[in-house]
């Protein structure tokens, strides 16, 4: 896992053709807006999170975010323990995100 600043995360994401964006926030948080093309996997719903995680392609690069960077760090650690080698945590999370976003 790598903790990336907002600038590093968005720059690396844009150049990565094997990138997958994961949003690990709650449904209520996602309803307030999200990064386009993100896959929603609420880390607070541990069972569903683990099921979805096991369906993901371990060869891809995962850019993970939550509201402030804490839960996404935990999600990266879980993914790493499942054999994912390339996980990137967005420091500061969606609350500091200045890139493109969508309201649902």
Return the HEC string of the chain.
CEEECHHHHHHHHHHCCCEEEEECCCHHHHHCCECCCCEECCCCCHHHHHHHHHHCCCCCEEEEECCCCHHHHHHHHHHHHCCCCCEEEECCCHHHCCCCCECC
Instruction: List residues with catalytic annotation.
Output: 66
> Residue 104 falls within a domain, yes or no?
no
The CATH number of the domain holding residue 23 is: 3.40.250.10
Q: What is the pLDDT of residue 104?
A: 54
> Residue 103 falls within a domain, yes or no?
no
C-alpha span between 69 and 39 (Å, rounded): 17
> Residue 79 falls within a domain, yes or no?
yes
Per-residue pLDDT of the chain (104 residues; tens, 9 = 90+): 999 999 999 999 999 999 999 999 999 999 999 999 999 999 999 999 999 999 999 999 999 999 999 999 999 999 999 999 999 999 999 999 988 898 75
Its pTM surpasses 0.85? yes
> Residue 92 falls within a domain, yes or no?
yes
Domain that holds residue 71: 2-96
> Residue 101 falls within a domain, yes or no?
no
């Amino acid at each position: 896992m790598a903790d990336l600043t907002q600038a590093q995360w968005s720059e690396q994401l844009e150049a990565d053709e094997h990138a997958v964006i994961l949003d690990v926030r709650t449904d209520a948080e996602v309803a307030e807006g999200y990064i386009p093309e993100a896959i929603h996997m609420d880390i607070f719903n541990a069972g569903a999170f683990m099921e979805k995680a096991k369906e993901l392609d371990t060869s891809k690069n995962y850019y993970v975010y939550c509201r402030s960077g804490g839960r996404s760090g935990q999600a990266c650690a879980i993914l790493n323990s499942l054999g994912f080698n390339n996980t990137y945590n967005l420091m500061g999370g969606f609350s500091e995100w200045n890139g493109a976003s969508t309201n649902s």
